[in-house]
């Protein structure tokens, strides 16, 4: 019975997307867990982290800690936020291929893994930045993760010797106003708003849903969210399998 209900929801979601004028997608950590990247909130309580570090993760990944304890910051960052072998899963791939069958205005993501772009999504707004970009704090030279040497405790700029910083939004740092404004404007224009793999409790990203003016809010997430009652369709299943089935529905 449960399988039939989910199938009906998937088919209805595919129909709404197929008939829509435009789609905007918002993704969170659940979109990447099937690629082997753990949800951050689950990862921070791992025993190895409690034993190795004397600070909570919110402190370790804060701007002030990066400035004052750069070596410890990078030790934690490289061991807990970098997944070099992670590849796009069915969720990322389905969203990218979905562009062939409907008008996807953008994928707005809270994730920093770069997997949406790797899968082929053409317009991705990374609200929290990306682990794939870095810059020198002194001369602003740009770097990629591949530029870092093995066992380099604190990456330094080869041009000026300045400290290299990840292009991610750390605790104590504001989100990029331009990206937030772009995201809000796109959400307002959306006919269908598809939300995938996020608990919708982290602001200001979750606040983007308040800009939505349509009546076709679709939520795919393992757990419940504060916005479930507003949604046209809610599917509490793994993101990859649901998105693959929605894509199949778009193709048929």
The answer to whether 2-37+86-128+174-251 and 41-84+135-168 have equal CATH topology is no
pLDDT at 134 over 70: yes
Percentage of the chain beyond pLDDT 70 is 93
Q: Are strands 124-126 and 104-109 parallel, antiparallel or unpaired?
A: parallel
Note the residue count of the chain. 252
pLDDT at 121 over 90: yes
Average pLDDT over residues 213-235: 97
From the candidates 116, 128, 153, 236, which is the catalytic residue?
A: 128
Q: Are strands 192-196 and 217-220 parallel, antiparallel or unpaired?
A: parallel
**Mean pLDDT of the residues in the chain:** 93
41-84+135-168 CATH choice from 3.30.1600.10, 3.50.50.60, 3.90.1150.10, 3.40.50.300? 3.30.1600.10
CATH dotted code for 2-37+86-128+174-251: 3.40.50.1220
Q: Is 96 helix (H, G, I), strand (E, B) or coil?
A: helix
* CA of residue 41 relative to chain centroid, distance: 14
CA-closest candidate to residue 210, choices 192, 238, 188: 188
pLDDT at 248 over 80: yes
Q: Is this model's pTM higher than 0.85 or not?
A: yes
- The one-character DSSP state at 149 is P
* Residue 128 designated active-site: yes
Q: What is the rounded CA–CA span in Å between residue 166 and residue 65?
A: 13
CA-closest candidate to residue 192, choices 88, 90, 89, 95: 95
Tens-digit pLDDT profile for residues 208-221: 999 999 999 999 99
| Domain boundaries of the chain, sorted by first residue | 2-37+86-128+174-251, 41-84+135-168
pLDDT at 98 over 50: yes
Q: What is the rounded CA–CA span in Å between residue 239 and residue 208?
A: 20
**Highest-confidence segment of 53-57, 67-71, 147-151:** 67-71
């Amino acid at each position: 019975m449960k399988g039939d209900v989910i199938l009906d929801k998937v088919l209805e979601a595919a129909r709404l997307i197929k008939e829509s004028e435009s789609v905007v997608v918002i993704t969170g950590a659940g979109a990447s867990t099937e690629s082997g990247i753990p949800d951050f909130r689950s990862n921070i309580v791992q025993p190895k982290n409690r034993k190795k570090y004397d600070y909570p993760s919110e402190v370790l990944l804060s701007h002030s800690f990066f400035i004052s304890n750069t070596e410890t910051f990078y030790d934690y960052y490289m061991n807990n936020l970098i997944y070099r072998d992670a590849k796009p899963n069915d969720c990322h791939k389905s969203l990218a291929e979905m562009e062939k069958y409907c008008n996807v205005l953008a994928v707005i993501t809270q994730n920093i893994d770069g997997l949406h772009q790797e899968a082929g999504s053409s317009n991705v707004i990374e609200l929290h930045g990306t682990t794939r970009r870095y810059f020198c704090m002194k001369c602003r030279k740009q770097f990629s993760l591949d530029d870092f040497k093995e066992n380099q405790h604190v990456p330094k700029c080869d041009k000026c010797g300045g400290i290299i910083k990840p292009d991610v939004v750390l605790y104590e740092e504001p989100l990029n106003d331009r990206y937030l404004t772009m995201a809000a404007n796109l959400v307002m224009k959306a006919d269908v708003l598809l939300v995938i793999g996020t608990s919708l409790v982290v602001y200001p990203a979750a606040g983007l849903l308040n800009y939505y003016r349509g009546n076709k809010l679709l939520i795919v997430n393992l757990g419940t969210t504060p916005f479930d009652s507003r949604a046209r369709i809610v599917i509490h299943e793994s993101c990859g399998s649901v998105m693959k089935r929605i894509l199949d529905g778009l193709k048929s």
